[in-house]
Structure 1
Amino acid sequence: MANIIGTISNDTLLGTSSADTINGKAGNDIITAKLGNDTLTGGGGNDKFVYNLGDGIDTITDFGGVGKGTNPTPGVIAEVDTIKFQGSGLTARNLLLTQNGTNLEITFEGVNDTKIVLNNFKLEDLDNLKASGTRPAIANIIFDGQTSIIDSFNVLDANSTETTIGIKNTVTFLNDLANNIIGLNNSDDVINGQGGNDKIDGLSGNDLLRGGTGNDTLIGGLGDDTLIGNADNDSLVGGAGNDSLVGGAGNDTLNGGSGNDFLNVDSSSGNNLLDGGNGNDTLSALGDYYGEVVSGNNTLKGGAGNDFLIADYSTGNNLLDGGDGNDELSVSGDYYSAVVSGNNTLKGGIGDDTLKAIFVTGDNLLDGGAGNDYFWLNIADGNNTLIGGAGNDTLRTGINTGNNLLSGGDGNDSLTASGVEGYRFDNNSGNNTLNGGLGDDTLKVDYSRGANLLNGDDGNDYLSGSGYTYGYGGAYYITTGNNTLNGGSGKDTLNVDYSEGDNLLNGGDGDDYLTASGYEFDEDYEVYYQTLGDNTLNGGVGNDTLSVDYSQGSNLLNGGAGDDALYGVYSTGDNFLNGGDGFYNLLYVAYSSGNNTLAGGASYNDFVIDYSTGNNLVSGSNGIDYFSAIACFGNNTLNGGAGNDYFDISYSSGNNLVNGGDGNDIFNTFGATGKNTLNGGNGDDILTGGSGDDSLTGGAGIDTFAFNSFNQGIDRISDFNATNEIIQVSAVGFGGGLSAGVLQTSQLRIGTSANTSTQRFIYNSTTGALFFDQDGNAGGFAQVEFARLSAGLSLTNENFVVV
C-alpha cells in the first residue's frame, strides 16, 4: 500500500500492486493505479486515469465530466478528466453504467474484476464530444483499441423524453424515466434502458438492447439482435433474425420470433415464458452445476424447428413444449449437486424428439407426440408418466423407485422400465405400468423389484419381466415382483424367466409364446433353478406355446382356444397344465419332479410326463389322446376320457392308475415294474400288462388283454368275458413252439396242470389262475402263473391269439 502525491505540474504517477492512494494535485496528470482497490484523486486540470483489465475496484473522488449538452463552458472543458481502458472486452459495446445513489459505477458486461466508482457523479454528466469549431474533441472515456477521441457513446439527460436515438451504430444510455424509444434502421444500435419501465425497439440491424431496472419491453426487429432484460418483469421480442434473449431476474416473457434464437433465463427464480418461434432455437432455464437451483415455474415453447429446451437444476413446475421439429427437452440434475424436484411436463410435439429427466424426484409427464421419439428417465423417485404417441418410440427408465406409467401409443415402440444402469442391476423398485398400444412393441421390466403391469395391446409384441444369470454359479439378478403381462391381440412373446415373483401372463388373441423358465449350471455342471414363483400363464385365443421349464414354483398354464403347446420340463413345483379348446394340444412335463395336473382340450392331445418323479394326474377329454409316461418313477393317474386313446407307461416303476374311458383304447406297459391298474372303460380296448403284478379291467366292449412274456408278474383281469374277448400272447416272448394265429385246441388245458406235452396254457377254473407251461407235462419246465381271471369261465382256444 502506497500514498502517492503529485505536484502542481503535469505528473505521471504509477501505483503499486496493493491498494494505493494517489493524488495528482494540480496539472494535467496521468495516473496508472495498477492492481489493488485504489483511491484516486486527479486534482485540478485535465487528468487521465489509465485502467488495465483486472486492476480491481478503483474509486475516483473528483472525476470531471463533460456535462450535459454539446457546448460545455471553457471552465468545464478545463476540468474534463478521461479514463483510458486497456484490455480485452473493455469496449463501448460492453460498457455498463449504474447510478448507485450519488455515485456512478462503471463496469463491463462479461468482464470480471474490473470496476471504477466515480464519487458524487451523475450519469448525465458523462459523455464524449467530437471537435467542434475551435473546441477540440473532449472525452470522459477512451476504450480499448482507440487511439483518438470518438463519439462512441451517448447519454441522455435525466429529463430527456426523446423517442429516437440520434446517431447510427453507437451506444446510447437512457435515463431513469419510462422511455419509449426506437433505434435506427440499418444500424447496429446499443441501447441501455437504465432505470424506468422502458420500451425499446431496435428496428433493423444487429442491435444490443439492455433493459436495466424496471419492467421493460425490448424489441429487436430485423437482424441478429441481443436483448438483455436484467432485473424486474421484462418482455423481450427478438423478431426476425438469429437473436439472443436473456431474461435475468423477474417474471420475464421471451419471444424469439423467426430465426435460430437463444433464449436464456438461467439462475432466475421467476415464472418465465420462453417462446422460440420459428427456427432452430435454444431455450434455457437452468440453475447450475455447483448447486444453485432455480425455483420458478417456467414455460418453454420451442415452436417450429429443431429446438433444444432445458430446465436442469430446477425445483419449479416447468412446462417444456418442443412444437414441430426434432427437439431435445431436458429437466435433469446430477449426482453431486442438485436434483430436479418439481412436477415437470415435457411435450415433444411433431417430430423425432428426445425427452430426458435424470435425477428427478417429482411426478413428471413426458409426452413425445407424433414422431419417432426417445425418452430417458433415470434415477427418479416420483411417479412419472411417459407417453410415446404416434411413431416408433423408445421409452426407457433406469434406476427408479416410483410407480411409472409408460405408454407407447401407435407405432412399433420399445418400452423399458428395467432396474439396470451400467453395471448396476435390480435398482427399479416401483410398480410400473407399460402400455404398448398399436404396433409391434417391446415392453421390458427386467431386473425389476416391483409389481409391474405390461399391456402389449394390438400387434406382435414382446413382453419381458425377466432376470439375468451368468457363469457356473456366478452372479444372478432375479426379478422379484409379481408382474402381470397381457399380450393383447397379435403374435406375442411373454417372458418372466429368472423370476421369484408370482406372475400372471395372458397371451390374448394370436399365436403367443409364454415362458416362466430359467436355469443355470454350477461349477460342477449341476443344474440349479432360477425361476421360483407361482406363475399363471394364459394363452388365450390362438395357437400358443406356454413354458415353465426349470421352474421351482407351482404354476398354472391355461392354453385357451387354439392348438397349444404347454411345457414344464425339469420343473419341481406342482403345476397345472390346461390345454383348453383347440384341435390339437401338447402338454409336456418330462423330467419334472412335482405333482403335476394335465388337462387336455376337446379334440387331440399329446401328454408327455416321461422320466418324471412326481405323482401326476393326466386327464384327456373327448377326442384321440396320446399319453406318454415312459420311465416315470411316481404313481401317476392317467384318464383318457372319450375317444380312442393310447397309453404308454413303458419302463415306469411307479404304481400307475390308467383309465381309458370311452373309446377303443390301447394300453402299453412294456418294461413297467410297478403294480399298475388299467381300466379300459367303454370300447374295444387293448390292455398290456407290464413286469409288475397289474390289475386289468376291460370294461364294456370287446377287449384284448395282451402279454409280452409269461414271467412279468401276475396280472389280475377282473372282467374277462369268455364269450368274445381275447388274451393275446407273444410267440417270441412266451416260446414253447407257439404259432401265430388262434391257439390250437390241443394247447389249452382246463385244470390244474398239463397232462400232455402239447398243452401250453392251463386255466384253473376253480381259482381263475392262468398258467403257461413251455413243454406241457414233459417235466423240463414248471408251469408259471402269469394272469388271474375270474373263476368258472368257459374258456376255449378261441379266447387266445398268438402274435
Structure 2
Amino acid sequence: MRIIADWTANMLDFRAVTFVGGNIVIDADGGDDTIYGTDGAEKIYAGYGKDVVNAGGGDDAIVAGGGNDTVDGGEGSDTYLVSGNKAGGWSSFQDYDTYKDSGLAGTDTIKAVGIGNVDIGLAKFDASNGIDAIDGTGATGNVRLLGGWASDSFDFSKVTFAGNNITIDTDGGNDTVVGSAGNDKIYARSGNDTVNGGAGSDLIAGGEGKDTLAGGLDADHFRFDTALSKANNVDTITDFEAGVDHLDLAAAIFGKLGAPGTLAADKFVVGAKAVDANDHIIYNATTGVLSYDADGNGAGAQVAFAQLSAGLALTHNDFLIV
C-alpha cells in the first residue's frame, strides 16, 4: 500500500494508526512536510522540501529526498537510503541532512545505494546521534560524506564504516572532523580546519588553509596537494611520529622531488636552510618547520608548508611522492 501526499506542506501523523498487511510506503512528495510513522515497519519517502521525519517503531527504511531534512528512525533497526551525487545537479543530489536516531535498540545504518558515485550530504554529524554504521557497499562507485560551505562539525568516532569506498569530504568552511575507528580518508578542503583521524591508518589531506591535524592511533598519512603559501597554507601536525607516519607530497606541487615513491635521501636535509642544490625538503629540527625549496641553495626562497614538533628523528623515508 502506498500513501501519497500532495506538493503542499503536509502534516502526516500515523502514530495512532495500525496498518494491516506489509509493504507500507508513505510518500510525502513535495513541500516542507512533517511525518510521523507507526510502531510498525514502513518505507518513508520524504520527497522534496525541508522535511522532518520521525519513523516511530519498527525496522523502517527512510529516503530523505531533496532538501535539507531532519530524519529520526526511532526504535528498531532503521536504514536511511541515499542515492545520487552533487555532480548530477540538484535534481540528483539529496542535499545536506541531519540524522538523529532516538531509538535505544537495533542497528541504525545510513546506506548508499545505486549505480555510480553517491554523495551523502551532512548538515552535521554528532557522536551521540544514534547512527551505528555508514554502509558504502550498495553503491558501485565512490561514496562521499559531504559537508557544505559552512563550518561543519563531524564526529564519526562511534560509527562503523562498511566498504573501502567511503571518503569524508568537508568542502569549504572552518570544519572540525573526528574520524572513525577504521582506516579513514579525510579531505578537509578549504578553510582553517581541525581534523583528528582517530584510530586506524588514516589518510588526511588538510587542503587549503591553516589546518590543525592529528592522525590519532596507528600509522597515518598526511597529504599535501594544494598550492604552497607560507602566509595562508601551513598545516600543523600535532602527533607526527617519525618512522611510523608518512608525509605524502604531491608531485604536481613539489615538482623537484622526482618520480612517485620514497623521497630520495639527497633531496632531504635537516637544518635551517638548504645546503646544496638538491636539498628540496628542509626540516628545521629547532623550530619544527618543514619547508620546500625548489632550487635548493639557489636564490629562490624556501616555502614553509607544515609545522611539526621540534626534535623529531625525521629522515627521507618519512616522505612519499604521490
Fold match (TM-score > 0.5): yes
* C-alpha contact 1:678 1:696 (8 A) present in aligned 2: yes
1:700 to 187, 202, 217: 217
- Where do 1:400-419 residues align within 5 Å? none
| 726 and 566 in structure 1: CA distance in 2 versus 1, 3 angstrom threshold | closer
2:23 is equivalent to residue 491 of structure 1: yes
Corresponding residue for residue 740 of structure 1: 260
Partners of 1:539 and 1:750 lie apart in 2 by 62
1:715 to 202, 226, 235: 235
How far the C-alpha of 1:541 sits from its partner, in A, is 2.6
Partners of 2:68 and 2:240 lie apart in 1 by 45
Q: Deviations over 1:241-291 (max 9, x none)?
A: xxxxxxxxxxxxxxxxxxxxxxxxxxxxxxxxxxxxxxxxxxxxxxxxxxx
Corresponding residue for residue 799 of structure 1: 318
Partners of 2:245 and 2:34 lie apart in 1 by 52
| 515 and 487 in structure 1: CA distance in 2 versus 1, 3 angstrom threshold | farther
2:45 to 515, 521, 527: 515
- Where do 1:206-217 residues align within 5 Å? none
Corresponding residue for residue 561 of structure 1: 77
2:296 is equivalent to residue 776 of structure 1: yes
Code of the aligned partner of 2:100: F
Code of the aligned partner of 2:183: N
| 496 and 643 in structure 1: CA distance in 2 versus 1, 3 angstrom threshold | closer
How far the C-alpha of 1:789 sits from its partner, in A, is 0.3
* Structure exhibiting the larger radius of gyration computed from Cα positions: 1
1:576 to 92, 95, 100: 100
Identity between Structure 1 and Structure 2 (%): 24
Partners of 2:99 and 2:160 lie apart in 1 by 25
Pairwise CA RMSD: 3.8
| 657 and 578 in structure 1: CA distance in 2 versus 1, 3 angstrom threshold | farther
SS at match of 1:506: coil
2:175 is equivalent to residue 656 of structure 1: yes
Partners of 1:637 and 1:508 lie apart in 2 by 31
2:58 to 540, 549, 552: 540
Corresponding residue for residue 248 of structure 2: 728
Partners of 1:596 and 1:640 lie apart in 2 by 10
- The higher relative CO (CA closer than 8 Å, separation ≥ 6) is in 2
Code of the aligned partner of 1:508: G
How far the C-alpha of 1:516 sits from its partner, in A, is 3.3
Code of the aligned partner of 2:23: K
1:604 to 135, 153, 167: 135
Partners of 1:501 and 1:802 lie apart in 2 by 51
2:280 to 725, 747, 760: 760
2:185 to 659, 662, 666: 666
Code of the aligned partner of 2:305: F
* C-alpha contact 2:235 2:305 (8 A) present in aligned 1: yes
Partners of 1:566 and 1:540 lie apart in 2 by 20
Code of the aligned partner of 2:192: K
Partners of 2:25 and 2:191 lie apart in 1 by 41
* C-alpha contact 2:278 2:295 (8 A) present in aligned 1: yes
How far the C-alpha of 1:682 sits from its partner, in A, is 2.1
Partners of 2:148 and 2:124 lie apart in 1 by 16
Unaligned runs of 5+ in 2: 84-92
Partners of 2:134 and 2:125 lie apart in 1 by 21
| 727 and 495 in structure 1: CA distance in 2 versus 1, 3 angstrom threshold | same
Partners of 2:239 and 2:112 lie apart in 1 by 33
Partners of 1:704 and 1:596 lie apart in 2 by 24
How far the C-alpha of 1:664 sits from its partner, in A, is 2.2
How far the C-alpha of 1:707 sits from its partner, in A, is 1.2
Partners of 2:57 and 2:76 lie apart in 1 by 5
Partners of 2:109 and 2:32 lie apart in 1 by 34
| 488 and 681 in structure 1: CA distance in 2 versus 1, 3 angstrom threshold | farther
How far the C-alpha of 1:540 sits from its partner, in A, is 2.8
* C-alpha contact 2:268 2:280 (8 A) present in aligned 1: yes
Partners of 2:167 and 2:14 lie apart in 1 by 38
Partners of 2:275 and 2:36 lie apart in 1 by 70
* C-alpha contact 2:251 2:257 (8 A) present in aligned 1: yes
Code of the aligned partner of 1:748: F
| 632 and 508 in structure 1: CA distance in 2 versus 1, 3 angstrom threshold | farther
Q: TM-score, normalised by structure 1?
A: 0.33
| 559 and 596 in structure 1: CA distance in 2 versus 1, 3 angstrom threshold | farther
* C-alpha contact 2:257 2:263 (8 A) present in aligned 1: no
| 723 and 562 in structure 1: CA distance in 2 versus 1, 3 angstrom threshold | same
How far the C-alpha of 1:762 sits from its partner, in A, is 0.7
Corresponding residue for residue 462 of structure 1: 2
| 486 and 695 in structure 1: CA distance in 2 versus 1, 3 angstrom threshold | farther
How far the C-alpha of 1:641 sits from its partner, in A, is 3.9
Partners of 1:682 and 1:480 lie apart in 2 by 43
* C-alpha contact 1:710 1:786 (8 A) present in aligned 2: no
Q: Deviations over 1:561-584 (max 9, x none)?
A: 26541689357x866367962677
How far the C-alpha of 1:506 sits from its partner, in A, is 3.1
How far the C-alpha of 1:800 sits from its partner, in A, is 1.1
SS at match of 2:55: strand
How far the C-alpha of 1:663 sits from its partner, in A, is 2.3
How far the C-alpha of 1:740 sits from its partner, in A, is 2.0
Partners of 2:298 and 2:100 lie apart in 1 by 57
Code of the aligned partner of 1:536: N
Corresponding residue for residue 675 of structure 1: 192
Partners of 1:739 and 1:500 lie apart in 2 by 54
* C-alpha contact 1:694 1:714 (8 A) present in aligned 2: yes
Partners of 1:642 and 1:596 lie apart in 2 by 10
| 681 and 747 in structure 1: CA distance in 2 versus 1, 3 angstrom threshold | same
How far the C-alpha of 1:718 sits from its partner, in A, is 0.5
Code of the aligned partner of 1:505: G
Code of the aligned partner of 2:54: T
Corresponding residue for residue 90 of structure 2: none
Partners of 2:198 and 2:68 lie apart in 1 by 36
Question: How many equivalent pairs are there?
Answer: 296
Code of the aligned partner of 2:77: A
* C-alpha contact 2:33 2:46 (8 A) present in aligned 1: no
| 745 and 626 in structure 1: CA distance in 2 versus 1, 3 angstrom threshold | same
Partners of 1:518 and 1:709 lie apart in 2 by 36
| 711 and 693 in structure 1: CA distance in 2 versus 1, 3 angstrom threshold | same
Q: Deviations over 1:726-752 (max 9, x none)?
A: 111111221124222221111111111
Partners of 1:794 and 1:487 lie apart in 2 by 67
Corresponding residue for residue 647 of structure 1: 167
Unaligned runs of 5+ in 1: 1-460, 470-475, 520-528, 607-624
* C-alpha contact 1:643 1:664 (8 A) present in aligned 2: no
Partners of 2:68 and 2:203 lie apart in 1 by 37
Q: Deviations over 1:693-743 (max 9, x none)?
A: 111111221222111145161111111111322111111221124222221
Code of the aligned partner of 2:135: Y
SS at match of 1:798: helix
* C-alpha contact 1:483 1:501 (8 A) present in aligned 2: no
Partners of 1:732 and 1:493 lie apart in 2 by 51
Code of the aligned partner of 1:561: S
Partners of 2:33 and 2:297 lie apart in 1 by 70
SS at match of 1:746: helix
